[in-house]
Amino acid sequence: MLQHKGKEKLKVSLPEDHLGYWLRYVSNNVAYALSQKLEDSGVTVAEWIVLRQMYLKNWVSPMSLAIQTGLTQGAISKLIDRLLKKKFVTKKVSKHDHRYKEIKLTSVGRKIVPRLASIADENDDYFFGKLSSAKKKQLMSFFIGVVKINRFRKSLNMRVNADDKIF
């Protein structure tokens, strides 16, 4: 408590009193470790996310990737440019409308995704492997519930069943 003008006592919370503080603390450490591990493969975390989204698809539009990943069209455009330079994706332009483009993984891109997934799995296991399966599922459900309640992404493909208890 802080004293204000000798009369009132105001409660001033600490950063550690907030869920967001702890979420960011964990997220920063998990993401930084993953970025360091992916660096050896020449891929950023954002590039890995895009590559993984494309893995089971044939041709996909940048707009579709933006929706699926929650990234802006501008961010997706820059990521695609980087992935094109790295020869992980290829691009085609519509014959009927030159503004419409689609991309797909090249054989090099398709080959690297399982290796990157393994790195991401190992990173998750390092940070969350000591939690029971039930605790991991509960944590996942909780955060997906927060996403749903706040409508962070309308089209996010949630991995929570409708009957799962979120809170």
Residue 158: pLDDT over 50: no
Q: Do 56 and 138 lie in a common domain?
A: no
Instruction: For residue 10, tell me if it sits in a domain.
Output: no
Per-residue pLDDT for 161 more than 50? no
Instruction: Specify the length of the chain in residues.
Output: 167
**Statement to judge: residues 141 and 120 lie in one domain:** no
Give 106-135 pLDDT, tens digit per residue.
999 999 999 999 999 999 999 999 999 999
Say which CATH number the domain at 65 has.
1.10.10.10
CB under 8 Å to 97, separation ≥6 — which residues? none
pLDDT at 38: 96
Looking at the structure, tell me whether residues 51 and 121 fall in a common domain: yes
Range of the domain at 145: 131-167
In terms of domains, do 88 and 113 share one? yes
The pLDDT tens digits for 41-77 are 999 999 999 999 999 888 999 999 998 888 888 999 9
Single pTM value for the model: 0.78
User: Average pLDDT for residues 14-24, to the nearest whole number?
Assistant: 93
Q: Does any domain span residue 8?
A: no
The Cα 162–Cα 166 span in angstroms is 10
User: How high is the pLDDT of residue 29?
Assistant: 96
In the predicted structure, residue 100 carries a pLDDT above the cut 90? no
* pLDDT score at 150: 83
Per-residue pLDDT at 134? 96
Burial (CB count within 10 angstroms: exposed 0-12, middle 13-18, buried 19+), residue 47: buried
Count structural domains, the chain: 2
The two beta strands, 2-4 and 101-105, are: unpaired
CB atoms within 10 A of CB 135: 11
Asked if residue 141 and residue 66 are part of one domain, the reply reads no
Q: Is the pLDDT of residue 86 over 90?
A: yes
Q: How high does pLDDT run on average in the chain?
A: 86
Token pair of 39, please? Answer: 């660096």
Q: Is 4 a domain residue?
A: no
pLDDT at 99: 74
Note whether residue 59 is domain-resident: yes
